[in-house]
């Protein structure tokens, strides 16, 4: 199998990626807390269903890129896969248990057993997440397994992966933002009936992770910085037009998978790679090490806090102004506590896998 080193400019670390990870996880918190939804719905739509939607694709594509560097440098891809899976699966199961225990406490044992029918349990475990934001962990695990197998057996052939990724992503788009146009399509109807959504590892995680993997095999040159920047601006404009048009026509089932997110994610990754020192020594880069934990933690304070205030407070602009930052800061505090407490078991809840890929953050869990 061909072994090609990825080529990228810059020093041994991409601070730009770290800065974007912090911005991305803050965007995820905003998506789940939907600030100003009842007061300024157009603002909320722009924030959570347009601009904030770069976050998860960015996580996937960066993870795919850095995981590819790890695979290319490894003597055994199976050892790399084993280390990634041992960590990710354990973290996924730990947080699934934490959130499930909370649901049992809040909702009672009858709801618990009803929701844990075998079919629902398996679908949630492998596709949708035991708690809804944990779908990302299930998708990341699936993507890592799929790309490792591809790299091992077909790693010298790029185009088949491009075709596979585009087909899967196309199905994902038809079952999500373009659902209104394809709801009666037999394949889409069957998938959404069985899995409820195409926002999962098959139709979202694998294609974007594969995009990052593929970028790693091609030279990223600093003198193309302007081209990458223009591509980023153009793809962002395309995202805005796409989202507004789809919303105006009432087509989306959800707002996770836009066609424009692939060029946006690729161009954003390229911009980060040619600007490795962007935002260096800022609070954004310093907080990046907590981003993985914040993603996992943030729904806990959000769910707990929401039980102790009246829903009418969401009509108060001052409450809406502070609520999302409060959830983020509480999540940051809990993450920092678990991160720094001298107990390895608790550290495991929020820390990324140890070790660095060549030239960047730890691969595989780049939140």
Going from N- to C-terminal start, the domains of the chain cover 15-347
Cβ 98 vs Cβ 130: under 8 Å: no
- CA 44 – CA 38 distance, rounded (Å): 9
Supply the pLDDT for residue 9: 52
Where does residue 5 rank: exposed (0-12), middle (13-18), buried (19+ CB within 10 A)? exposed
Q: In this predicted model, what pLDDT tens digit does every residue of 109-166 receive, in sequence order?
A: 555 555 556 667 788 888 888 888 999 999 999 999 999 999 999 888 899 999 999 9
Two structure tokens written together for 174:
């038809």
pTM of the model: 0.90
- CA 120 – CA 112 distance, rounded (Å): 12
Burial 248-282 (b: 16+ CB within 10 A, else e): eeeebbebbbbbbbbbbbbbbbbbbbbbbebbbee
Determine the longest span between alpha carbons in the chain, in angstroms.
62
- CA 235 – CA 161 distance, rounded (Å): 22
Two structure tokens written together for 51:
């601009």
Cβ 13 vs Cβ 276: under 8 Å: yes
DSSP per-residue letters across 106-143: HH-HHHHHHHT-HHHHHHIIIII-SSGGGHHHHHHHHH
- CA 258 – CA 247 distance, rounded (Å): 12
Q: Which stretches in the chain have pLDDT values below 50?
A: 1-7, 10-11, 355-367
CB atoms within 10 A of CB 289: 19
- CA 39 – CA 42 distance, rounded (Å): 9
Supply the pLDDT for residue 346: 72
């Amino acid at each position: 199998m061909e072994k090609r080193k990825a080529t990228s400019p810059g020093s041994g670390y991409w601070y730009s990626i770290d800065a974007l990870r912090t911005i991305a996880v803050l965007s995820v918190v905003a998506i789940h807390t939907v600030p100003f939804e009842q007061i300024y719905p157009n603002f909320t739509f722009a924030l959570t269903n347009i601009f904030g939607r770069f976050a998860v694709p960015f996580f996937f594509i960066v993870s795919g890129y850095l995981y590819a560097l790890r695979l290319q440098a490894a003597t055994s891809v199976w050892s790399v896969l084993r280390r990634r899976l041992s960590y990710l699966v354990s973290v996924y199961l730990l947080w699934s248990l934490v959130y499930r225990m909370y649901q049992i406490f809040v909702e009672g044992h009858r709801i618990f057993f009803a929701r844990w029918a075998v079919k629902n349990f398996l679908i949630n475990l492998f596709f949708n997440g035991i708690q809804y934001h944990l779908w990302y962990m299930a998708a990341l695990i699936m993507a890592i397994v799929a790309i490792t197998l591809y790299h091992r057996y077909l790693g010298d052939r790029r185009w088949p992966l491009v075709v596979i990724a585009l087909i899967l992503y196309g199905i994902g788009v038809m079952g999500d933002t373009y659902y209104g146009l394809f709801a009666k399509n037999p394949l889409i109807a069957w998938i959404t009936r069985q899995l409820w959504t195409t926002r999962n590892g098959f139709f979202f995680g694998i294609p974007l992770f594969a995009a990052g993997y593929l970028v790693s095999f091609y030279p990223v040159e600093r003198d193309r910085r302007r081209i990458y920047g223009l591509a980023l601006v153009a793809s962002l404009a395309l995202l805005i037009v796409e989202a507004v048009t789809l919303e105006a026509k009432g087509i989306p089932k959800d707002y996770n998978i836009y066609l424009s997110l692939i060029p946006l994610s690729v161009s954003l990754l390229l911009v980060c790679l040619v600007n490795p020192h962007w935002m260096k020594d800022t609070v954004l880069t310093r907080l990046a090490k907590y981003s993985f934990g914040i993603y996992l933690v943030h729904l806990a304070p959000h769910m707990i806090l929401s039980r102790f205030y009246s829903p009418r407070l969401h009509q108060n602009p001052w409450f809406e102004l502070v609520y999302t930052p409060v959830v983020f800061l509480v999540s940051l505090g809990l993450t920092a506590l678990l991160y720094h407490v001298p107990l390895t078991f608790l550290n495991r809840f929020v820390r990324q896998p140890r070790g660095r890929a060549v030239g960047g953050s730890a691969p595989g869990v780049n939140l």
